[in-house]
Amino acid sequence: MIIVIKDNIRTDDYERIKKYISERGGRVHESEGIEKRIIGVIGEERHLDRTAIAALPGVEKVIPIVEPYKLASRKFHPKNTIVNVKGVKIGGIDPVVIAGPCSVESEKQIWEIAEELSKKKAHILRGGIFKPRSSPYTFQGIGEPGIMWLAESARHYNLPVVSEVMEISDIDVLYDHIDIFQVGARNMQNFKLLKALGKTDKPILLKRGISATFSEFLMSAEYILAEGNEKVILCERGIRTFVEFTRNTFDVNIIPVVKKSTHLPIIIDPSHATGRSDIITPITLAGLAAGADGFMVEVHPRPFEAFSDGNQSLNFEQFTQLLDDWNVLKDAVITLRKKTNEEVLTACI
Ligand code: PEP
Ligand code: MN
């Protein structure tokens, strides 16, 4: 539930509200609303009687949250969460560009890509070290030797870096070398992994599971938030449908729904959503026009030589074309983002 606090509340009344909740096993989340100070409460309803709380001095009203996710809800936290990764702001007004290979393959390959991203002013480098593959007979990721190649190329070009953790033990291995932990689609409901990531202080890029509903996706984010890590970035990477002309189906609908219902940033991954390099540009632009906070694409100097996901990887020329097309749309999208932001916040008051 949300407790809306009266403007002129006395400090001792405010403290009494917090004490009342904690004594009954509730967790208190203080935050500034748009116009009002609010206290979000998480706990068992049977111990926390809404009518009794509404009667405490200094309480203006109590609003129940019917959604299963609480900390991820915009009611709990009306303002957008902006995740700052070494100065790159995800969830702010400017959408971010994340690019890099599906897998780190060699030192030369990742340095070549990092150099290209830096030239093209992309914001963040991606690269898989540990790879979740559908077949055990395909490349499973370069593993530990690739970590330093990825980290050093990223540091050299001043790019923050994101890489996937497949299991809890990967967290420590990657911790000192990367800036964002990615949770892949296949691990979206690996609750032990989510809890462990919730205890870290690094941003988490949480990909939507291949058949995850909206609330399942949000509940996975809730697992991370509930452990205290507020830096969650959602990622729509396509879902499984009956279509056979693309690898997955890009669910553009989820973007405005995430924006209305939650305060978390959402980026898109048109590479995995389509599986086809020839349609990545229009899908990227559609997602950005719908309100995505950025996009992540797979880029490889020679996609036909890629160890994984070559079909959906852009070569440098295609990546440049994508950025040029994005530039055509960018100002209009930014104008729309400012307007939508205000509308969502006003609806929340
Ligand atoms: C990836 O980003 O390379 C990846 C494996 O993505 P997903 O988990 O979305 O399939
Ligand atoms: Mn991939």
Write out pLDDT tens, residues 30-62: 877 667 888 999 887 788 889 999 999 999 999
| Same domain (yes/no): 157, 10 | no
| Same domain (yes/no): 207, 302 | yes
pLDDT at 74 > cutoff 70:
yes
Q: Quick check: is 69 in a domain?
A: no
**What integer is the mean pLDDT of 284-295?**
98
Lowest mean pLDDT among 35-39, 136-140, 192-196: 35-39
Q: Quick check: is 78 in a domain?
A: no
Which amino acid residue places its CA nearest to atom 3 of ligand 1? 102
Which amino acid residue places its CA nearest to atom 1 of ligand 1? 102
pLDDT at 196 > cutoff 70:
yes
Q: Tell how far the Cα of 245 is from the centroid of ligand 2, in angstroms.
A: 18
Q: What's residue 44's pLDDT?
A: 78
Mutate to test the pocket of ligand 1, among 105, 162, 182 (most ligand atoms within 8 A of CB): 182
Q: Tell how far the Cα of 185 is from the centroid of ligand 1, in angstroms.
A: 6
Which amino acid residue places its CA nearest to atom 9 of ligand 1? 185
What confidence category does residue 229 fall into, taking pLDDT thresholds of 50, 70 and 90? very high
pLDDT in tens, 11-29: 999 999 999 999 999 999 8
| Same domain (yes/no): 221, 260 | yes
Q: What is the average pLDDT score of the chain?
A: 95
| Same domain (yes/no): 102, 6 | no
Q: Ligand 1, residue 235: give the atom nearest the CA.
A: 9
Question: Cβ of 51: how many Cβ atoms within 10 Å?
Answer: 7
Provide the β-strand partners of residue 38. Answer: 4, 31
- Give the residue from 267, 215, 257 showing the smallest Cα distance to 237: 267
Q: Quick check: is 119 in a domain?
A: yes
| Same domain (yes/no): 336, 258 | yes
Which amino acid residue places its CA nearest to atom 10 of ligand 1? 185
| Same domain (yes/no): 143, 285 | yes
Look up the CATH number of the domain holding residue 51: 3.30.70.1140
Look up the CATH number of the domain holding residue 94: 3.20.20.70
What is the value of pTM for the model shown? 0.95
Which has the higher per-residue pLDDT, 341 or 317? Answer: 317
| Same domain (yes/no): 109, 255 | yes
Q: Quick check: is 269 in a domain?
A: yes
| Same domain (yes/no): 97, 146 | yes
Task: Judge whether 150 and 127 are in contact, CB under 8 Å.
Answer: yes
Ligand nearest to the CA of 250: 1
Domain that holds residue 14: 2-63
**What integer is the mean pLDDT of 148-164?**
98
Q: Quick check: is 293 in a domain?
A: yes
Q: Quick check: is 261 in a domain?
A: yes
| Same domain (yes/no): 272, 301 | yes
Q: Tell how far the Cα of 184 is from the centroid of ligand 1, in angstroms.
A: 5
Q: Tell how far the Cα of 23 is from the centroid of ligand 1, in angstroms.
A: 43
How far, in whole angstroms, is CA 278 from its chain's centroid? Answer: 25
Which helix (H) or strand (E) segment holds residue 292: the answer is none
What confidence category does residue 126 fall into, taking pLDDT thresholds of 50, 70 and 90? very high
Q: Ligand 1, residue 207: give the atom nearest the CA.
A: 9
- Give the residue from 72, 85, 95, 293 showing the smallest Cα distance to 203: 85
Q: Quick check: is 241 in a domain?
A: yes
**CA distance linking residue 78 with residue 255, whole number of Å:** 17
Q: Quick check: is 139 in a domain?
A: yes
β-sheet with 2-5: strand ranges across: 27-32, 37-42, 2-5, 59-63
| Same domain (yes/no): 49, 172 | no
**Total structural domains in the chain?**
2
| Same domain (yes/no): 181, 94 | yes
What confidence category does residue 348 fall into, taking pLDDT thresholds of 50, 70 and 90? low
Provide the β-strand partners of residue 205. Answer: 182, 233
Token output for 54: 């509404």
**What integer is the mean pLDDT of 67-74?**
93
pLDDT at 349 > cutoff 80:
no
Q: Ligand 1, residue 103: give the atom nearest the CA.
A: 3
| Same domain (yes/no): 291, 164 | yes
In percent, how much of the chain has pLDDT > 70? 98
